[in-house]
Amino acid sequence: MGGSVINTNLFSLRHTFESGQPLTFFADYNRSRNAISYQEGNSMFDIKMVGSAEKGRLVLNAGKADGVRRRFRLDDDMQGIYGRINTDPFMDRAIRRYSGMRLTVNDPWETTLVFIISQLNNLKRIRLITRNIIERFGTPIKDEDGRVVARSFPTSEDLMEATEKELRECNAGFRDKYIRSAAEYCTNNLDLYRLRGKSYHALKEELMTISGVGDKVADCIALMGYGRLEAFPIDVWVKRTLERIYFKGRKRPVKQLHRFVDERFGDMKGYAQQYIFWGGRMMA
Partner DNA sequence: ACCCAGGCGGGCG
Partner DNA sequence: CGCCCGCATGGG
Question: Which residues are at the interface with DNA (CB under 7 A)?
Answer: 19-21, 115, 118-126, 168, 171, 173-174, 178, 208, 210-218, 220, 224, 233, 235-238, 240, 253, 255, 273-274, 277, 281
What is the identity of the amino acid at 188? N
Instruction: Between 29 and 64, name the residue whose CB sits nearer to DNA.
Output: 29
CB of 166 to DNA, least distance (A): 12
Residue 131 CA to residue 171 CA, distance in Å, equals 10
Cβ atoms within 10 Å, residue 32 = 5
What letters, b where the CB count within 10 A reaches 16 and e where it falls short, cover 194-230? ebeebeeeebbebbeebebbeebbbbbbbbbbbbbbb
Nearest to 25, CA basis, from 11, 38, 14: 38
Query: Nearest distance from residue 164's CB to DNA, in Å?
Result: 9
Q: Which residues pair with 61 in a beta bridge?
A: none
Cα(146)–Cα(164) distance, rounded to whole angstroms?
30
The minimum distance between CB 257 and DNA, in angstroms, equals 12
Given a contact cutoff of 8 angstroms between Cβ atoms, the answer to whether 35 and 96 are in contact is no
What is the nearest approach in angstroms of DNA to the Cβ of residue 74? 19
Q: Which CB sits closer to DNA, 85 or 224?
A: 224
Which amino acid does the sequence have at 264?
R
Give the H/E segment covering residue 35. strand 35-40
Which lies closer to DNA via its Cβ, residue 151 or residue 216?
A: 216
Residue 6 or 280 having the CB closest to DNA: 280
- Least distance in angstroms from the C-beta of 60 to DNA: 25
- Whichever of 168 and 194 has its CB closer to DNA, that residue is 168
Least CB distance to DNA at residue 139 (A) = 25
Look at phi and psi of residue 31 and say left if phi exceeds 0, alpha if psi is from -120 to 50, else beta.
alpha
CB of 64 to DNA, least distance (A): 25
**Cβ closer to DNA: 141 or 254?**
254
Cα three-residue angle 251-254-256, rounded to 5 degrees: 85
CA 82 from chain centre, in angstroms, equals 20
If DSSP codes are grouped into helix, strand and coil, which group holds residue 231? coil
Task: Please identify, using beta-carbon distances, which residue of 203 and 220 lies nearer to DNA.
Answer: 220
